[in-house]
Amino acid sequence: MPFARTLRRCLFFLLLASLAGAQNNEQRTARYFDSVRQQPPLLLAFLRDMPKGGDLHNHLDGAVYAEDFINFAADGNLCADRTSSHLLAPPCDDSCASYTVKPAARCAYGDQVLYNQLIDAWSMRNWNIGNESGHDHFFATFDKFFLASHTHVAEDIAAATNRSAADHLQYVEYMHTADGGGAIELAKKIEWTSDSAKMRDALLAAGLKDLAAQTSKQLSADIARAQQIMKCGTPDASPGCAVTVRYLYQVLRGLPLPVVFTQMLLGFELASSDPNFVGLNMVMAEDWYVPIHDFKQHMAMLDYLHSVYPKVHIALHAGELAIPLVPPDELTFHIRSSIDRGHAERIGHGVDVMNENDPIALLREMAQRNILVEICLTSNDIILGVSGDDHPLPIYMKYGVPVALATDDEGVNRSDLTDEFQRAVETYHLSYSDLKRMARQSLEHSFLPGESLWADTKVVFRAASQCAGNSLGATQPSAACAQFLEANERARAQWKLESEFQKFESTTFEKK
């Protein structure tokens, strides 16, 4: 018995020493961070290496850089319209001469003027506010490179996931309209009615479940091809192979109501049957006529479908608005309605929150209900012209609303998550603790299945009872903790993040 007591005491003190060491490493890392926050190059190097958790607001099409799309277009023998910068189907002009109107996309390799033109047209590079608004230039890019993206989904996934790995992300959710237009065609077969229950019955009878099965099959093939491109499972595996990827079915809210409802229903069905899909979201410019005009009907349709599929996760773009894009009254209810009627568990952007009716009550409700806001600083600056003190990020933090930084469309915006972190630090003077909390919140609010590693996240992150007392992120957790992690994918991702923080914090302070 004395030996057993002695052993337990030794183990106890070893655990205390381990926790103290982790605490000291975190403190030293925070001090180093403070020492370089006014030196942008050193701050960039720090943030580049910092583990960032998950990117929860990432459009697959918009995540790919224009240079990659030129390669995909050349591979697919697509043509480029010199006048509009749109990609077109072949045949192309026979010559690459500068006077041709429809040269092959591969001609850009030998024509720097065309190469630069395509990159500038397909992204925000060299965008000039004197010619068109950032809002209009941004949303116009997608139609221009659509053919390359649509025909190279596996390559899109590989390129975007490798960039996420370079950002030291552990997890990403890509928004992706994965059915290849199948929902649009199916919607044409059904007579529209505002009765959502009747619409659902008619679509199921017309073969929507078959469309869901086809969509799942195609995405699985695209994922397998992407893993092949990245050489996953081989000694030459790309960094992206280590990133956990899931998908949100992307509903195009600017399309007619029958199509929007069909896409919604398909998204709910996919998220109920295919583990690659963890939820759905609605996309396209919130201020366009159709999304504004049909907004309340969209929320009513989500309200009904949520009642049928209550376990399906919903994240919604809401509050990506600003004066003068819309009349003032349109700024007063989109976020609240997306939560109350659309059943959003996460809000994308949320820029106009202080224009909502009774915004302080809304902020407190979001904090109480633990609804995270996906903060996209670069995107909000480019598209809405909202940045600095005009952005509500500090307000969300003040009222305890969980937030996480996200890229939105890093390829179009010519940015990455490291850039988002640096912008946040330099603009809002965030601490290392703030950044670490955001990274943890990103995984806490991911739609990965299973229980969380954390029993509490309000003030401090307190581990679930099964893993309490363990050194977070340890390679050999206790038997109870290991069993808990094995049973819960979300907790495993969070444990991996803690392991990455341990590695990062044990070496970062040495760079001083």
- Residue in 255, 254, 228 with CA at minimum distance from that of residue 241: 228
> What string of DSSP letters covers 325-365?
TS-GGGGSSHHHHHHHTT--SEEEE-TTGGGSSSHHHHHHH
pLDDT bin (cut points 50, 70, 90) of residue 458 is: confident
Neighbour count for residue 406 (Cβ, 10 Å): 27
CA angle 135–140–142, rounded 5-degree value = 120
pLDDT of residue 190: 95
pLDDT digits (tens, 9 = 90+) for 387-416: 999 999 999 999 999 999 999 999 999 999
pLDDT of residue 507: 87
d(CA 267, CA 277): 8
Residues with Cβ within 8 Å of residue 373, at least 6 apart in sequence? 346, 347, 348, 349, 350, 366, 396, 401, 402, 403, 404
pLDDT of residue 459: 85
Q: Is 319 exposed, middle or buried (0-12, 13-18, 19+ CB in 10 A)?
A: buried
Decide if pLDDT at 18 tops 60. Answer: no
Provide the percentage of residues in the chain whose pLDDT is more than 90. Answer: 93
Task: Enumerate the domain spans of the chain.
Answer: 70-122, 150-444, 449-512
pLDDT of residue 14: 44
Q: 86: which DSSP letter?
A: -
d(CA 388, CA 427): 6
pLDDT bin (cut points 50, 70, 90) of residue 15 is: very low
Q: 382: which DSSP letter?
A: I
Average pLDDT over residues 216-239: 98
d(CA 422, CA 46): 10
pLDDT of residue 128: 85
pLDDT of residue 509: 56
Decide if pLDDT at 130 tops 90. Answer: no
pLDDT digits (tens, 9 = 90+) for 418-438: 999 999 999 999 999 999 999
pLDDT digits (tens, 9 = 90+) for 135-163: 999 999 999 999 999 999 999 999 999 99
> What string of DSSP letters covers 231-260?
TTTSTT--GGGGSEEEEEEEEETTS-HHHH
For the chain, how many helices (H) and strands (E)? 22, 12
Average pLDDT over residues 299-309: 98
pLDDT of residue 2: 55
What is the reported pTM?
0.93
Biggest alpha carbon–alpha carbon distance for the chain: 92
pLDDT bin (cut points 50, 70, 90) of residue 16 is: very low
Neighbour count for residue 134 (Cβ, 10 Å): 18
CA angle 144–145–148, rounded 5-degree value = 145
- Phi first, then psi, for residue 488 (nearest 5°) are -135, 105
What's the mean per-residue pLDDT of the chain?
95
pLDDT of residue 12: 45
pLDDT digits (tens, 9 = 90+) for 486-505: 999 999 999 999 999 999 99
Residue 63: strand, helix, or coil: helix
- Residue in 23, 118, 108, 143 with CA at minimum distance from that of residue 66: 118
Per-residue tokens: 441? 């919140």
pLDDT bin (cut points 50, 70, 90) of residue 329 is: very high
The CATH class for the domain spanning 150-444 reads alpha beta
pLDDT digits (tens, 9 = 90+) for 94-107: 999 999 999 999 99
Minimum mean pLDDT range among 125-139, 264-278, 301-315:
125-139
pLDDT bin (cut points 50, 70, 90) of residue 17 is: very low
- E strand residue ranges, 358-475: 372-375, 403-405, 454-456, 462-463
pLDDT of residue 486: 97
